Amino acid sequence: MKRFEFVIEWALLLCALLSIGTTAGIIVVLAVETFAFLREVPITDFLFGTEWTPLFATPSFGVLPLVAGTILVSAIAMAVALPMGLLSAIYLSEYAPRGVRRAIKPILEILAGVPTVVYGYFALLFVTPILQQFIPGLAGFNALGPGIVMGIMILPLVSSLSEDAMQGVPRGLREGAYALGATRMQTSLRVVLPAAFSGITAAFILAASRAIGETMIVAIAAGQQPRLTANPLVPVETMTAYIVQVSLGDTPQGTLEYRTIFAVGMLLFLGTFGLNLVSAWLRERYREEYT
Amino acid sequence: MTRRLLDLGFQALALLILLLALGSLAALIADVWADGASRLSWSFLTGFPSRRAADAGIYHALSGSVFVILVTGALAVPIGVASAIYLEEYGRRNFLSRIIEINITNLAAVPSIIYGLLGLGLFVRAMDMGRSVMAGASTLALLVLPVVILATREALRAVPSSIREGSYALGATKWQTIWFQVLPVALPGILTGMILALSRAIGETAPLISIGALTFVAFAPDSIWSPFTVLPIQIFNWVSRPQVEFQANAAAGILVLLSLLLTMNAAAIWLRDRYQKKLS
């Protein structure tokens, strides 16, 4: 009996350790191929080169155009998701009657659960054609349409995490503000928002990390032309879209081209991992502030 | 007075923005419906891919999706539930479980395409599974594992400790208590988490593309070692073509995918409601 209990506990622990194994696996797989890649391409050429043409006869491996494309689309997404998500959160947390909140939150959850390939379709065939009527120079593939749609996709994340942070602010602070004659807007903007600041920042950073790692929307609607530009009207390629592009072809294992996707993946992993850590640290902090 | 007006204006603005966000969901569904509803038919559901858009169907992709999801669930659920039991019932405060917890939170935020690269390097190449259902399902299982673990932990935490204490008082061992008392009570919560995890997996495209699940597979998979394609990849393939007819197929495929997801979510909500009533 004792022995059985002992075996069970170890078996359960083994399962729990699989998650550590997953992280280790990601790092090992990415690192092995990235080092093999860097043996042939100097790291400075990779990180600071301004031309990404790995499929050409005379290839060039400067990752900056992919990074620029990623940042451009993510920045547009954040410009949509931050103000909208924050205002939604303020409404849901400070204004909405309970019934309205209960009705709206599941719809936001559905918005968050729509598969990204569906958002890609929406960006390419609905949002971009509409934008083209207002912006004459807009290409069929561009950074603007997918950026906006990606913003809609991460909006529920921004909204629900910010709302959680605002709900964590003690009632006493709000009541103090009301007692001094403040309106709900003044209370929300000058008392609740600053008090929930670290939690809201954590939400923004997590949303940025989600935008950077988002794949299908940009693979479908942003085009596949790596280009060092800040112009949202022309086709660009993100790091994630490049990985998809190469994966769709039949690339033999061990070639330099095969290794590029792991090198790009490594960069993507390090970037999002760093953001996630900062976000987790901030969330930990606001939890401590009010408990 | 102006302060009150300002407050009212601000409230109206915030509500408007929120409705705009919800409106985009309506626009999305209306758009897809307008483009794809006319393609929905029995022969679309039971047909195979074709060079002519009007003859093409999704049977191969739909059965691929269902097959992959079932294998994913079979892999992720037992491991995820076991991990959650360890973290919640055994290693509650020790250093190791703290590390595991932080790690799981981080894993939940790793981009899905990175899991695809892990699957490509580990399952497809190193373990030589090839581009099979097994490789795809293993990749997705790792991807949804954090979801299963977090949901199960929440369900376990909601079980009143009096149930555990009663069981111990009757002389049950720890595992007997968990197996016969705690798990049955937590089951609806665990099932809800499982459905949410699988509905995440069924919509995933990027990790399966990067392990090399292909679009020209014209047959339904018949074993876990066969090559496969899934519905989102088929949709991606159709969206990427310039012809309007194929894009209509993509829209019809999206409608099927969304209704599948809606069904799964409704089941999860139904379970959650039932569960809440029972405990209160």
Other CB atoms within a 10 A radius of the CB of residue B28 amount to: 22
Look at residue B280 and tell me whether its pLDDT is greater than 80.
no
Token output for B221: 């998979």
Asked, for residue A223, whether it belongs to a domain, the answer is yes
Asked, for residue B163, whether it belongs to a domain, the answer is yes
A238 pLDDT band, cuts 50/70/90, is very high
Do B248 and B35 form a contact (C-beta atoms < 8 A)?
Answer: yes
Residue in chain A lying closest to B34 (CA): A126
Asked, for residue B169, whether it belongs to a domain, the answer is yes
Token output for A234: 């022309």
Contacts of A30 in chain B (CB under 8 A): 114, 117-118, 121
B95-108 vs A2-40: helix axis angle to the nearest 10?
50
Expressed as residue numbers, the domain containing A211 is 69-254
The tens digit of pLDDT for each residue in A251-265 reads 777 788 888 999 999
Asked, for residue B6, whether it belongs to a domain, the answer is no
A289 pLDDT band, cuts 50/70/90, is low
Output the domain CATH number for residue A242: 1.10.3720.10
**How confident is the model over B235-254, as a mean pLDDT?**
90
pLDDT computed for residue A257 by the predictor: 85
**How confident is the model over A130-136, as a mean pLDDT?**
91
Do B82 and A16 form a contact (C-beta atoms < 8 A)?
Answer: yes
The tens digit of pLDDT for each residue in B93-121 reads 778 888 888 889 889 889 999 999 999 99
DSSP output for A71-98: HHHHHHHHHHHHHHHHHHHHIIIII--H
Residue in chain B lying closest to A244 (CA): B210
pLDDT computed for residue B38 by the predictor: 87
pLDDT computed for residue A243 by the predictor: 92
Q: For chain B, what percentages of helix, strand and coil (3-state, to nearest 5) are there?
A: 80, 0, 20
- Higher-pLDDT residue of A122 and A55 is A122
**How confident is the model over A174-180, as a mean pLDDT?**
93
**How confident is the model over A237-253, as a mean pLDDT?**
86
B139 pLDDT band, cuts 50/70/90, is very high
Nearest by CB to residue B236, choosing from A95, A110, A220, is: A220
pTM: 0.91
pLDDT computed for residue A272 by the predictor: 93
Q: Is B239 on the interface with A (CB under 8 A)?
A: yes
The tens digit of pLDDT for each residue in B70-99 reads 999 999 999 999 999 999 888 767 788 888
Look at residue A65 and tell me whether its pLDDT is greater than 70.
yes
A288 pLDDT band, cuts 50/70/90, is low
- Higher-pLDDT residue of B255 and A253 is B255
**How confident is the model over B1-24, as a mean pLDDT?**
88
Contacts of B203 in chain A (CB under 8 A): 113-118
pLDDT computed for residue B215 by the predictor: 60
pLDDT computed for residue B216 by the predictor: 65
pLDDT computed for residue A91 by the predictor: 92
**How many domains would you assign to chain A?**
1
B59 pLDDT band, cuts 50/70/90, is confident
ipTM: 0.91
Helix (H, G, I), strand (E, B) or coil at B186: helix
Asked, for residue A283, whether it belongs to a domain, the answer is no
Task: Please report, for chain B, how many H helices and E strands are present, in that order.
Answer: 12, 0
Nearest by CB to residue A184, choosing from B7, B117, B257, is: B7
Look at residue B279 and tell me whether its pLDDT is greater than 60.
no
Burial class of residue B92 in the structure, from the number of CB atoms within 10 Å of its CB (0-12 exposed, 13-18 middle, 19+ buried): exposed
Shortest Cα distance, chain A CAs vs residue B202, angstroms: 8
Nearest by CB to residue A5, choosing from B113, B174, B235, is: B174
Candidates A127, A150, A185, A266: best to mutate against B (most CBs of B within 10 A) is: A185
pLDDT computed for residue A291 by the predictor: 56
Asked, for residue B11, whether it belongs to a domain, the answer is no
- In Å, what is the CA distance from B275 to each residue of A49, A128, B185? 57, 44, 9
Question: Residue B118 and residue A213: Cβ atoms within 8 Å?
Answer: no
**How many domains would you assign to chain B?**
1
Residue in chain A lying closest to B87 (CA): A16
Expressed as residue numbers, the domain containing B121 is 61-229
Do B113 and A265 form a contact (C-beta atoms < 8 A)?
Answer: yes
Helix (H, G, I), strand (E, B) or coil at B40: coil
% chain B with pLDDT above 90: 44
Token output for A5: 């209990």
Do B236 and B205 form a contact (C-beta atoms < 8 A)?
Answer: yes
Asked, for residue B280, whether it belongs to a domain, the answer is no
Question: Residue B206 and residue A272: Cβ atoms within 8 Å?
Answer: no
Output the domain CATH number for residue B80: 1.10.3720.10
Q: Which residues of A42-66 are buried (b: 16+ CB within 10 A; e: fewer)?
A: eeeebeebebbebeeeeeebbbbbb
B276 pLDDT band, cuts 50/70/90, is low
Look at residue A177 and tell me whether its pLDDT is greater than 90.
yes
Q: What is the mean pLDDT of chain A?
A: 89
Look at residue A205 and tell me whether its pLDDT is greater than 80.
yes
The whole-angstrom distance between residue A165's C-alpha and the CA centroid of its chain comes to: 19
Contacts of B18 in chain A (CB under 8 A): 87-88, 91-92, 104
Amino acid (1-letter code) at residue A236: V
Asked, for residue B95, whether it belongs to a domain, the answer is yes
Shortest Cα distance, chain A CAs vs residue B43, angstroms: 22
Look at residue A155 and tell me whether its pLDDT is greater than 80.
yes
Look at residue A287 and tell me whether its pLDDT is greater than 60.
yes
Q: Which residues pair with A52 in a beta bridge?
A: A61
Contacts of A88 in chain B (CB under 8 A): 14, 17-18, 21
